[in-house]
Amino acid sequence: MNKKIIIYFLTFFFLFYQNSYANYLKEYVRWLKLNHKTQSQFLVSTEGPCAGCAEYPTRTIKCFEKGGKQKKMCITDEWDPKWNRFKWKQDLPLSKKLLKHKKNLGERFKWDSNPSLERLHYQTFHYLEDDKGWSKHEIIASENPYKFKFNLREDKDVDLQLQKSGLLSYLFFENGEITVDKKTPIERMGGLFNDETKWTSASMGKSIVSYVVGHAICGGYIDNIDVELSDWPLLSDTLYENVSLINLLNMAAGDQKLAKNNLKKGKGRERNPNVNTIEYHMNGIFRGTKPSKNKYNYSNLVSNILINYVWFKSNGDFQKITDKVFKEKAKIKNNVFFLKQNFRTVNNKYPVTDESGPLRYSFRADRYDYLRIAIAMMKDWQNDTCVGKYLKEVVDKKIPKNLENKNKTGAYSYSLYYGGQFHLDFPGFAKRNILGLDGAYGQAILIDMDKSKIVAINAVHTNYKWHKIALSALK
């Protein structure tokens, strides 16, 4: 490629990357203006006589007409001591606490950080906006959605985490009933997150992809978990060409020299398996490669290979398979979807088509539909259905993680084994079949197949007490 073209592209991408976060911030300010009555605490800091009246005092927002035209300036409660009145403002400013983070608002939280409420609120908005611009593989809601039974009790530990952390939603399901049902209050992230908010699965989507794989096997599209992927032309002359399905499911594809969460070679977006197709990556750094030793190596690319392999083997029935999983089996109440690549390729050499492997494990559903999916998994297991047998088989073929993570939080780092895209074997739960789904920013589902208990959590940050309200709750 011509050097000038490369420089031009990199410059364009840098500006796009920077401006994308700037646009998030712009949209966020616009959203705050439209919702100022309930989100006032994230706008100007209270000064003057209203200071200390309440933790989040009601804002005075009034616009006036002059000469038949709406006046752009509005009264806000930013007190002007010089004139002993509220100031006129053309724009409702962000709170001072949020403005401190203006330069790095687009950055992912550090796992050990303790972000302010303002930062959490903005980041919630950011994640909700993050799926815009992507294509979607959507599954329409069931005409007969699964109906929950409720027998609610209080949980002070969950209440505390909702008030002080990035926890957005907490559901506890046991013996066929929801017994704890909590979500973030309006004065925190409740203006953004509600019962029908389609929230990111993050890496929980990997486990959901595995569930789809199980249905593809049981539907006769894939023979079994031991088949080699040698029949898929996209993987030819790469280390994945003869990899077995079970090794992919176990994150043991022998790709540790080239892949981790992201790819180890390339620049910028080239290293992100979620913004390029399978074809692009295979014709890039993976061409002519050979597999290393099969051992646990957590890789985002592997999960994308899995879902696109199901599409390849489906012979045009991919929608039929996913409808079976979510619409018929889980009986979702609202639409759900996987994200897909569209125009977002590094270059146009390998255009985005369904044949190029554009599907991502990135999945979105509302809080109750995540629980519906978990219940479907549990019923398959307990009823020993074909998909239930698949889940048991991948658990039987689990492999050790051998992680050295001193700051254990979440199923990813706390579990000892991995099998079929699930986190398995939790200390203190010997011989308990608990399947863990785990995702960035604190997403978590724990399914206790033996005791018929499920914990389903959505979050915007990992700073809640995971062990206390997730794992220990199963006891």
Quick count: other Cβ atoms within 10 Å of Cβ 10? Answer: 12
> Domain with 351 in it: what CATH number?
3.40.710.10
Q: Do 432 and 309 share a structural domain?
A: yes
Q: For residue 320, is it within any domain? A: yes
Confidence category of residue 24, pLDDT binned at 50, 70, 90: low
pLDDT at 86 over 70: no
- H or E stretch covering 444: strand 443-448
Q: How confident is the model at residue 122, as a pLDDT?
A: 84
Interval 126-173: pLDDT, tens: 899 888 889 999 999 999 999 999 999 999 999 999 999 999 999 999
Q: Residues 165-178: pLDDT tens digits?
A: 999 999 999 999 99
Of 360, 339, 357, nearest to 277 by C-alpha is 357
Q: 44 is in which domain, residue-wise?
A: 3-104
Shared domain check, 363 and 404: yes
pLDDT(310) > 70: yes
Summarised one tens digit per residue, pLDDT across range 414-472 is 999 999 999 999 999 988 999 999 999 999 999 999 999 999 999 999 999 999 999 99
Decide which of 65, 87, 104 is a domain's last residue: 104
Please, where are the H alpha helices in 180-251?
204-218, 245-249
Is 232 found in the same domain as 99?
A: no
Which DSSP state fits 390? H
Q: What is the pLDDT of residue 129?
A: 85
- Supply the pTM of this predicted model: 0.85
CB 401 within 8 A of CB 415: yes
In a domain, 113, yes or no: no
As beta bridge partners, residue 435 has 447
- Judge if 90 and 226 occupy the same domain: no
Q: Is residue 98 domain-shared with residue 139, that is, in the same domain?
A: no
> In this structure, are 276 and 234 located in the same domain?
yes
Instruction: Report the residue count for the chain.
Output: 475
In a domain, 229, yes or no: yes
Please give the residue that has the higher pLDDT: either 212 or 115.
Answer: 212
**Based on the structure, what is the number of domains in the chain?**
2
Residue that wins the pLDDT comparison between 110 and 226: 226
Bridge partners of 363, per DSSP, are 338
Q: Does residue 360 lie within any of the structural domains? A: yes
Minimum mean pLDDT range among 66-70, 79-83, 358-362: 66-70
User: What's the pLDDT score for residue 13?
Assistant: 37
Write down the pLDDT at residue 223. Answer: 98
> What does the pLDDT read at residue 167?
98
Residue 118 located in a structural domain = no
Check whether 249 has a pLDDT greater than 80. Answer: yes
For the cut 70, the answer to whether the pLDDT of residue 252 exceeds it is yes
Same domain, 331 and 211: yes
The answer on 209 and 98 residing in a single domain is no
Buried b / exposed e over 331-349, threshold 16 CB at 10 Å, is: bbbbbbbbbbbeebbbeee
Q: Which of 8-22, 30-44, 142-156, 353-367 comes out lowest in average pLDDT?
A: 8-22
pLDDT, tens digit (0-9, with 9 covering 90-100), for 373-426: 999 999 999 999 999 999 999 999 999 998 766 557 799 999 999 999 999 999
Cα first-last separation, the chain: 59
The confidence band for 244, taking pLDDT boundaries of 50, 70 and 90, is very high
Q: Both 78 and 152 in a single domain?
A: no
Mark whether 153 and 37 lie in a shared domain: no
Per-residue pLDDT reduced to its tens digit, 333-366: 999 999 998 865 555 667 788 999 999 999 999 9
Q: Are residues 183 and 312 in the same domain?
A: yes
User: What DSSP line would sit under 112-152, residue for residue?
Assistant: T----HHHHHHHHHHHHHTTTTSEEEEEPPPSSPPPPPB--
pLDDT at 45: 38
Could you say which of 104, 121, 146 is where a domain stops?
104
pLDDT, position 206: 98
**50 lies in some domain:** yes
**Which band of pLDDT confidence, cut at 50, 70 and 90, is reported for residue 37?**
low
Q: What is residue 277's predicted lDDT score, i.e. its pLDDT?
A: 92
Indicate whether 386 belongs to any domain: yes
CA atoms of 207 and 361, how far apart (whole Å): 9
In a domain, 100, yes or no: yes
Measured CA to CA in angstroms, residue 14 lies from 7, 195, 294, 405, 451 at distances of 11, 36, 37, 33, 51
Identify whether residues 162 and 30 lie together within a single domain: no
